[in-house]
Amino acid sequence: MTIAVAGLGTVGAGVIRVLDTHADLLTRRCGRELKVVAVSARDQTKDRGIVLETCEWYDDAAEMARKADAEVVIELIGGSGGIAKSVVDGALDAGRHVVTANKALLAHHGTELARAAERAGVALAYEAAVAGGIPIIKALREGLAANSFDRVYGILNGTCNYILSAMRETGRGFDEVLAEAQELGYAEADPAFDIDGVDTAHKLAILASLAFGTEVDFDSIYTEGIRHVSPLDFEFAEELGYRIKLLGIARRTPSGIEQRVHPCMVPLADPIAHIEDVFNAVVVDGDAVETTMYEGRGAGEGPTASAVVADVVDIARGRTAPAFGVPCGELTAPSPAPITQRTGRYYLRLTVVDRPGVFAEIASALKENNVSMEAIIQRGRAPGEAVEVVLTTHETRDDSVAATIDAIAESDAVLEPTRLIRIVSFG
């Protein structure tokens, strides 16, 4: 089977390496040879440590997608539009199968691209777009096809999990650990996508569509990243019996599909609290199978290439499925449930002046908004100095907590914005 590869960075070079290293094994598994006939990247002179002599080079990746003599086009450039979209559009128009690792593109144009693939009678395959090396797309679409799903959630960004793990374990600073994740090839071209939760939201939009049979609905995802998580939060989390994780959570609720991405306090008793470093984990609740959990490396050359090549093998074997699990005409319009209606427990960290009456002001803000406190910790210093106060709440609504934080902000004893982390419980 002939293949064209657009993008030869961390993932693209990794794919060429896996196809080369396992050429014989893959030929036996597919019943035919997998042959890369064309490639495209920005810089033809760059040494990528891979053999490209037998491939035709294209400066213009979109031209390659339309014209190269390839049955499959693999898009590994990245970005939600621009050249990546031109490559995928061009390949589908020309009736070629598409494999991509580009979650940004799918989050923004997934439904439209799935329709184009369906019209052309070709595959739009994207196992590598979600959770790196974990075959979660295949699990949801095929292995669990007998189930109806009410919830899917997980740690979906390797860079953030790497940062949160390293900060907690070693006390190192955010910027230093992020630079390390970039060096290891985990981060997006713009790492703000990772740390601001956008990459997790891209992946969640895809998972939610697959799980609930809805059109991809990235725009309604509530998204918060990890920039505000401080070393103090790790200390308090440890004391309270939690780990801080950036989770993507999608749930079917009576008022629609809830999709949210934010840092969470996860109880230590929950297995997902112990997923560390670049590892991702996805938990799927199916009505027949009940809870299943998938764990593996969420980013990096090898794990991502593993997922891309698995898609290529499926196509070579003639095994393709509708991109989002059902024919596009069966996908239902999204009906988002707003996060303001979320009920749960909350961790709040306040920085206040240590002076008489401050607790009474905090208590009054809680009372006004009908929020019940579960526990409170104050790190004592000298009277008149800044002090950290952490409180956890009993079950309450997200909008009540937001109103409480606004009320607390009105006190002149409050020195910094109050930090909130949602406490989750997946029992």
Residues that bind ligand HSE (CB under 6 A): 132, 157-159, 186-188, 194, 199, 298-299
Closest residue to ligand HSE: CB criterion = 159
User: In the complex with ligand HSE, which residue's Cβ is closer, 189 or 409?
Assistant: 189
| Min separation Cβ 221 and ligand HSE, Å | 16
Contact 344, 425 (CB under 8 A): yes
Environment class of 118 (CB within 10 Å of its CB; exposed 0-12, middle 13-18, buried 19+): middle
Q: Tell the smallest beta-carbon distance from residue 309 to ligand NAP (Å).
A: 13
Binding partner at 9 among ligand NAP, ligand HSE, none, C-beta below 5 to 8 Å by kind: ligand NAP
Residue 366 tokens read as: 């809680």
Q: Are 268 and 423 in contact (CB under 8 A)?
A: no
Residue 194: contacted member of ligand NAP, ligand HSE, none (CB under 5 to 8 Å, by partner type):
ligand HSE
- Enclosing H/E stretch for 315: helix 301-316
Report how far Cα 209 is from the mean position of its chain's Cα atoms. Answer: 14
In the bound state with ligand NAP, the residue whose beta carbon lies nearer, of 138 and 345, is 138
Positions that interact with ligand NAP (CB under 6 A): 6-12, 40-43, 46, 61, 76-78, 83, 101-103, 128, 132, 185-186, 188-189, 299-300, 304
- Which residue(s) pair with 234 in the sheet? none
Q: Which is nearer to ligand NAP, 182 or 230 (CB)?
A: 182
Tell me, yes or no, if 245 is annotated catalytic: no
Q: How far is the CB of 237 from ligand NAP (least distance, A)?
A: 27
Residue with Cβ nearer ligand NAP (79 or 344):
79
For residue 5, the minimal CB distance to ligand NAP (Å) is 9
CA torsion sign for 10, 187, 203, 139 is positive
CB of 338 to ligand HSE, least distance (A): 27
Per this entry, what is the length of the chain? 427
Residue with Cβ nearer ligand NAP (8 or 362): 8
Q: Which does 157 bind (CB under 5 to 8 A by kind): ligand NAP, ligand HSE, none?
A: ligand HSE
Cα distance between residue 61 and residue 90, in whole Å: 10
In 3D space, the residue among 246, 247, 279, 269 whose CA is nearest the CA of residue 164 turns out to be: 246
Euclidean distance between CA atoms 348 and 134, whole angstroms: 34
How many whole angstroms separate alpha carbon 135 and alpha carbon 37?
27
The entry of ligand NAP, ligand HSE, none that residue 159 binds, CB within 5 to 8 Å by partner kind: ligand HSE
**Structure tokens of 320?**
């393709």
Q: How many CB atoms lie within 10 A of CB 385?
A: 10
Q: Which is nearer to ligand NAP, 16 or 362 (CB)?
A: 16
CB 98 within 8 A of CB 127: no
Contact indicator for 278, 162 with CB cutoff of 8 Å: yes
- Closest residue by beta carbon to ligand NAP: 9
Amino acid at site 198: V
Question: In whole angstroms, how close is the CB of 170 to ligand NAP at the nearest point?
Answer: 22
Could you say which of 85, 103, 203, 245 is catalytic?
203
Residues annotated as catalytic are 203
